[in-house]
Amino acid sequence: DSGVTQTPKHLITATGQRVTLRCSPRSGDLSVYWYQQSLDQGLQFLIQYYNGEERAKGNILERFSAQQFPDLHSELNLSSLELGDSALYFCASSQGGTTRGETQYFGPGTRLLVL
Amino acid sequence: DQQVKQNSPSLSVQEGRISILNCDYTNSMFDYFLWYKKYPAEGPTFLISISSIKDKNEDGRFTVFLNKSAKHLSLHIVPSQPGDSAVYFCAASVDFGNEKLTFGTGTRLTIIP
């Protein structure tokens, strides 16, 4: 158990809909990262938040947005969903985001299926 | 454009023997490399890392080798155990940082008892 929790575990929805994925980082961790893993692909970095502020951005679609709240949990919002958004979405956390070489601890992921 | 490549989708190794997982990268700016292990229905778990100032890092049964001129790294597991059966991801980052890890597509390792 990494200490990172993600809800829900599974989500089935229809094209055009909007969903929210939630992540609670490990106790004391200030950085939260979101990754997408599509079928047979590696994990693709989407976005990082550090202590409530956006810190780094990857190939995140404009239809996707995220935020980190004062209690440090984070939400990833996916809107106007398309079939190709079906994937595993992982959240990870690390202590500070400022120390080089910090380990990222991953949650179990949310499996999203868009029908 | 796959900047981190794991060309072997799967690998089977006898228990007790050495497992060697390979990873190639194209971005010469990468200077920090990591291996993660993933079991089904779980998130990836950090295994071992190496910075570009080293060519080898060892942690128990796990050793990572880095060949910067070839842009190649490998993970050696000796001896292999049944619990090592998992998907292994190679990842890389720039500036020794941990933001924006770039992952390979993974290699599924199966240890045969």
Q: How confident is the model at residue B98 (pLDDT cuts 50, 70, 90)?
A: low
Taking contacts as CB-CB distances below 8 angstroms, the residues of chain B near A41 are 105
A66's enclosing H/E stretch is strand A64-68
| pLDDT at B31 > cutoff 60 | yes
Distance CA(A44)–CA(A81), nearest Å, equals 18
Strands B10-14 and B107-112: parallel
Percent of chain B at pLDDT > 90 equals 87
Q: How confident is the model at residue A95 (pLDDT cuts 50, 70, 90)?
A: confident
| pLDDT at B95 > cutoff 90 | no
Choose, out of B10, B47, B93, B101, the residue to mutate when testing the contact with A (most A CBs < 10 Å): B101
Q: Which of A18-32, A97-111, B30-44 has the lowest average pLDDT?
A: A97-111
Distance CA(A27)–CA(A94), nearest Å, equals 10
Could you say which residues from 55 to 94 on chain A have a Cβ atom under 8 Å away from some Cβ of chain B?
Answer: 55-56, 58, 90, 92, 94
A108: nearest CB among B43, B46, B98:
B43
Q: How confident is the model at residue B101 (pLDDT cuts 50, 70, 90)?
A: confident
**Cis peptide, bond prior to residue A8, ω within 30 of zero:** yes
3-state secondary structure of B84: helix
pLDDT, residue A96, reads 74
Reduced 3-state DSSP string for B60-71? CCEEEEEECCCC
Nearest to B82 by CA among B113, B109, B56: B113
CB contact under 8 A, A45 and B102: yes
Query: Tell me: the pLDDT tens digits for A27-76?
Result: 999 999 999 999 878 899 999 999 999 988 998 999 999 999 999 999 99
